[in-house]
Homo-oligomer: A and B are copies of this chain.
Amino acid sequence: MAGIVACAWGLAREQGIAGVSLHGLARAVGIRQPSLYEYFESKSALYDAMFADGNRQLIERLNTVKLSRDHRAALKQILVAFTAFALEDPARYELLFQRHLPGFIPSPESYALAEDVLNRIVVLMRDAGVIHQGDIDCIVAITAGLIDAQLSNNPGGNRWVRHLNRLIDLLVDDAITRSKQ
């Protein structure tokens, strides 16, 4: 079960998340395609297991980040770690954060893991003085925008994501200024 999911990640890394076929996955695991239905009731269920697994990997990764006392620095650290996690496996980022799979909707249990991740980041934003939902939305959208542009146009490089820290400063400063007045 866990081995099958790990095998599926391997195929996804080679051929993209949409390139994972049940025949190919079964072949890689050493069984026939219908036997996979003993473990997943549909291909969507396989994606769902991978979605949950990927979010657990991300939670574990964020847990290893040593956060500074300084709230602004801590926010940057968590977003930099998030960005590194996204860039190191495009197929995983595709499944977790983009809507590339027609018909795939995470189950509520799996989606709850994704909300956990978001909530942890939102807490750090609040600590750093970003309190309005609109400002939180902007920082989230900008981080995702940089990652998307990086993966789409220059995977492996840093032309876009190198601006992350500067833009966080810019937006956090602006959010604090506007929430004071």
Contacts and interface: CB of A to CB of B under 8 A. Distances in A.
Interface in A126-157: 134, 137-138, 140-146, 148-149, 152
List 6 A-B pairs, minimum CB-CB distance, nearest first.
A145-B145, A141-B149, A141-B145, A18-B102, A100-B100, A141-B146
Interface residues of A, number: 28
B163 A170 contact: no
Give chain A's interface secondary structure class: helix
B137 A159 contact: yes
A137 B163 contact: yes
Nearest to A133: B159
A16 interface: yes
Nearest to A163: B138
